[in-house]
Structure 1
């Protein structure tokens, strides 16, 4: 037995053929609502995946490095109760290290942030186009169903078949745009990820030095 795997293009072709046959017999066995719904659901699923991927990448390149540095800074702050003077003496140095990190993080993430916005704009634009065009198809479909006159109904379904076929063809182009945008996500953050982690590692090393100096100060005052 041969197992036939339907690709997206094959499914599209089958639907288009069904629409054309429907127009030829002046009937409407095609589930236009289902067609539009499936296309929009596919686009929305990819859109959600893209947004989630961007959010995950943001956590990796920004949240995690900042958390590591905050932990190192908090370790120094925790010693304040043991000896206020030792920690206070290092407050300006800690503040400078943290501020420098924040400045570097902004530089590291600025390009990635801009590209992320561009990706989501592309995705949202393509998705909205699918929704609006799909609405037009369904509006015409409902209009055709309401015709009592067989001639007008047949003419309407002929127009509907053309409109639906164009919608399906254009939808594949829009979904391709969304998929390509989704594929761009990992590359966007490669440089930013290396940049933010490098800055964070440098800050942690400097804070660890401060920590050692605070520890030595406290020990000397005992």
Structure 2
């Protein structure tokens, strides 16, 4: 009997008592190298078009902080999360991005590196960022406290946003599919149509969430310099 509704997302496959579900995290890397060995096709041109659009957008967001190659980390972050989000939509493939273990492992070191770089090299700018321009003197201590708290919870909000959005859609699809056994025949066709619509919605969410994480990480990095 299922003790917890969310236990359906727990890693369950094991080999020699080692959980192999997390191997699905690296399956996205399989789709990348073949484009370098084959004649350029539609898939290659489409992916190259997306990467160039992202590069130009990240370059604009970084503004004066841009240097050659600085957008690669954010493009890689977008690609990694996008592949894992999409792979989680396939049956019997473990969705690693629906766990805080992975999302926090991505957001926390990224945010920590930005903070260390900013406070070590540009501490005057970091202090001035604590108090927005035009803040009354009496409100300055409160603004420092609010800005500090909002800065500290950034990696948590990045991780929870990704995890919650990926779990919500998967959980809804799982709950709907579990009711199919008790439905009439004419209702099953309606259920299938709803599941297809939810799958399309989840595909859009997979793209949007990877884009949001990459954009927010770019904005956080542009604030430390």
Q: Which has the higher contact order (CA 8 A, sep 6+)?
A: 1
TM-score normalised by L of structure 2:
0.42
TM-score normalised by L of structure 1:
0.43
Bigger share in helix: 1
